[in-house]
């Protein structure tokens, strides 16, 4: 069946709490495989998607959930044994720590950085029509020896027959009041799809931090949500979670952070998840509306191609 007449499918790698899942489902695609190794994030993911995508969490005779996998390095890719069904788009916010200052910028020389090569293995074995990867902005200028890491990534993806494009995208360009600059990398197997892709245009920001926090906040756009260091105080140079609201120092809540990332109102954390763990999971997540804008553009290009 031609792609324009059928449902587009995707897999959600390094899935976190499901930002890509929400974005691509909103864009009209169906998730057929998930991989996330962190137990806390897996708990949140299952809590939110077990009702909407129950087939992802079905257990086999051994009580395992093959299509809701843990460590991607342990997932078999052998024909007849892999739980990864055929799919159209590979999605993944692969670990960013190796390319950030927090990860000492070791890049592809550091173990977590080599998880990119698991992406290459899946693309090699399954040969989907497109990929969409997300990472920190530091990846753009990160070096692996004398070679730019991004050029290595580009070379590897193009060697598999894919086009390669990347954009530096801010969450605030797509409707949520958070800077969060991130590198979006995407490409297609089919030249017609690549030619049909139209880069999403930024939209005017209507939701501000004053709306999020319910009072007058000096800055319209909030600071990028981080993984750690909550409660550092408004005068601390590392502060990211405290704001002046009507002149009073206020820490953002988990609900505030969810809105800053563009998660829908129905999304929630299990009762067993602490505030610290919830904020960590959100700091590791993606800005859903920005991902959604690109998801729609990629799916439209695939159907035209």
Per-residue pLDDT tens for 102-131? 434 454 554 445 688 889 999 999 999 999
Tokens of 256: 């505030």
Q: What is the DSSP letter of 235?
A: T
Q: Which CATH superfamily is domain 3-202+286-304 in?
A: Vaccinia Virus protein VP39 (3.40.50.150)
Most confident of 34-38, 94-98, 229-233: 34-38
Describe the crossing of helices 149-159 and 116-126 by its angle, rounded to 10 degrees: 10
CA distance 304 to 258: 34
CA distance 185 to 169: 10
State the average pLDDT over residues 2-21: 89
33 Rama sector, left if φ>0, alpha if ψ -120 to 50, beta otherwise: beta
In three-state secondary structure terms, 72 is: helix
pLDDT over 50 (residue 100): no
* Candidates 89, 96, 209, 230; catalytic one: 96
How many angstroms separate the Cα of 275 from the Cα of each of 45, 135, 168, 250?
A: 16, 24, 30, 15
Residue 146 confidence (pLDDT)? 74
- The domain ranges of the chain are 3-202+286-304, 209-279
Report how far Cα 176 is from the mean position of its chain's Cα atoms.
15
CA distance 305 to 303: 5
- Indicate the pLDDT class of residue 3, thresholds 50, 70 and 90: low
What tens digit of pLDDT does each residue of 164-175 get?
Answer: 999 999 999 999
Q: What is the DSSP letter of 297?
A: H
pLDDT over 90 (residue 2): no
Residue 147 confidence (pLDDT)? 76
What tens digit of pLDDT does each residue of 138-168 get?
Answer: 888 876 667 788 888 899 999 999 999 999 9
Residue 148's DSSP bridge partners are: 143
Q: Note if 91 is an active site residue.
A: no
Neighbours of 197 (CB within 10 A): 21
């Amino acid at each position: 069946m031609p792609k324009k007449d059928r449902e587009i499918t995707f897999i959600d790698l390094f899935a976190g709490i499901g930002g890509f899942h929400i974005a691509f489902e909103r864009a009209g695609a169906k998730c057929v495989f998930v991989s996330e190794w962190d137990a806390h994030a897996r708990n949140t993911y299952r809590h939110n998607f077990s009702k909407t995508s129950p087939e992802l969490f079905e257990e086999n005779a051994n009580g395992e959930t093959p299509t809701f996998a843990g460590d991607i390095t342990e997932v078999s890719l052998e024909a007849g044994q892999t739980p990864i069904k055929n799919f159209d788009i590979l999605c993944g916010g692969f670990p960013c720590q190796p390319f950030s200052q927090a990860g000492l910028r070791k890049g592809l020389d550091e173990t977590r950085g080599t998880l990119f090569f698991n992406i290459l293995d899946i693309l090699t074995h399954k040969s989907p029509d497109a990929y969409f990867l997300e990472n920190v902005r530091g990846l753009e200028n990160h070096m692996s020896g004398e070679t730019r890491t991004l050029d290595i990534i580009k070379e590897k993806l193009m060697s598999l027959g894919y086009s390669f494009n990347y954009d530096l995208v801010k969450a605030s360009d797509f409707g949520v009041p958070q800077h969060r600059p991130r590198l979006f990398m995407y490409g297609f197997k089919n030249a017609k799809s690549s030619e049909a892709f139209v880069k999403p245009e930024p939209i005017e920001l209507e939701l501000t931090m004053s709306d999020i926090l319910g009072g007058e906040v000096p800055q319209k756009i909030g600071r990028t949500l981080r993984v750690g260091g909550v409660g550092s105080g408004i005068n601390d140079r590392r502060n990211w979670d405290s704001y002046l609201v009507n002149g009073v120092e206020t820490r953002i809540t988990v609900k505030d952070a969810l809105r800053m990332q563009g998660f829908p109102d129905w999304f929630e954390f299990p009762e067993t998840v602490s505030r610290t763990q919830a904020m960590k999971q959100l700091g590791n997540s993606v800005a859903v509306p920005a991902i959604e804008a690109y998801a729609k553009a990629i799916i439209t290009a695939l159907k035209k191609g």
